[in-house]
Amino acid sequence: MRCGIIGCGAIANTIVNLVLKQDIKKIKLKYFYDRNFRKAKKLANLTNGTAVKKVEEMFNGVDLIIESASQEAVKEIVPNIISRGIDVLIMSVGALLDEKVRRRLIKESRESGANIYIPSGAIIGLDGVKAASLGKIKEIKLITRKSPTSLGVKTKKKEVVFKGKSSEAVKKFPVNINVAAALSLASGIDADVKIIADPEVEHNIHEVHVKGDFGEFKSITKNTVCELNPKTSVLAAYSAVTLLKILSDNIRVGT
């Protein structure tokens, strides 16, 4: 599978390092684009790939493009990818809680035949959420704890910085709570979200609680943060690579 990457920050660097370290031959990282060209060049050098100055330059040479840039990139660049029939893996999932954006991407993908993939990101349990949503879900909530630095707030004590629906959370904290969007898209319900800035935590911690006619479950993910960007958890990049491996393998374990 020939891949391009848009956004060459923490997630992209973790993906590249993982693919190189584990010598995953089926995933060929070919093209890199970032509005900061030096970041694209760095990853291109590591992989013998190509850094492009205009994103369109990668369109003819890829089967799938990984978006690991920003919600803005999903709105501005991803429609052009999908309309050309190229598959896309989206990390900045929060953008899809904007109904206009989501409807447009789904419509374009139906017309062009492109697939849109959304990895589980930095939370575990989306498999359970999807299965549970076949019945009736009575409650779905996410409690996220991150350091004040990660959340971009100043506080010396533990503080709830957001309480509300996931569709609002992704607007107020666009680079911190894409996991809430994944949860909402998987369940079809605008999940309840609480974000806590906690000076005592060194991890990004996400608790998911789901109650429904299936019963009840709770998952806790205590994530190691990326060195390049402490807002972002290493697991998010690992989940993107896992999804690419699933797409290029003949056996699939789990839902």
Ligand X SMILES: O=C([O-])CC(=O)C(=O)O
Ligand Y SMILES: NC(=O)C1=CN([C@@H]2O[C@H](COP(=O)(O)OP(=O)(O)OC[C@H]3O[C@@H](n4cnc5c(N)ncnc54)[C@H](O)[C@@H]3O)[C@@H](O)[C@H]2O)C=CC1
Q: How far is CA 115 from CA 86, 112, 201, 253, in A?
A: 7, 9, 37, 20
Decide: is 146 part of the binding site for ligand Y (CB under 6 A): no
# residues near ligand Y by CB under 6 A: 28
How far apart CA 214 and CA 163 sit, in angstroms, is: 26
- Could you tell me how many residues make up the chain? 255
- Residues near ligand X (CB under 6 A) are 121-122, 176-179, 204, 223, 231-233, 236
Q: Is 17 annotated as a binding residue?
A: no
3-state secondary structure of 149: helix
Query: Which of the listed partners (ligand Y, ligand X, none) does 187 bind, with a CB threshold of 5 to 8 Å by partner kind?
Result: none
Query: Which of the listed partners (ligand Y, ligand X, none) does 204 bind, with a CB threshold of 5 to 8 Å by partner kind?
Result: ligand X
How far apart CA 139 and CA 181 sit, in angstroms, is: 16
Query: Which of the listed partners (ligand X, ligand Y, none) does 11 bind, with a CB threshold of 5 to 8 Å by partner kind?
Result: ligand Y
Query: Which of the listed partners (ligand Y, ligand X, none) does 223 bind, with a CB threshold of 5 to 8 Å by partner kind?
Result: ligand X
- Residues 107-136: x where in contact with ligand Y by CB under 6 A, - otherwise, as a string: --------------xx--------------
How far apart CA 53 and CA 70 sit, in angstroms, is: 18
Site for ligand Y in 201-240 (CB under 6 A): 228-229, 232, 236
Task: Tell me how far, at minimum, the Cβ of 205 lies from ligand X, in Å.
Answer: 8
- Identify which of residues 121 and 212 has a Cβ nearer to ligand X in the complex: 121
Q: Is 36 annotated as a binding residue?
A: no
127 Cβ contact partners less than 8 Å away, ≥ 6 residues apart: 120, 254, 255
> Phi and psi dihedrals of 48, rounded to 5?
60, 30
Three-state secondary structure readout of 210-222: EEECCEEEEEEEE
110 Cβ contact partners less than 8 Å away, ≥ 6 residues apart: none
- List the structure tokens of 130: 């999807």
Site for ligand Y in 157-176 (CB under 6 A): 175
Q: Give the interface segment with ligand Y, choosing from 32-40, 42-50, 58-66, 211-219 (CB under 6 A).
A: 32-40
The footprint of ligand Y (CB under 6 A) covers 7-12, 34-36, 39, 68-70, 72-73, 91-93, 121-122, 175, 178-179, 182, 228-229, 232, 236
Task: Give binding residues as ranges.
Answer: 122, 178
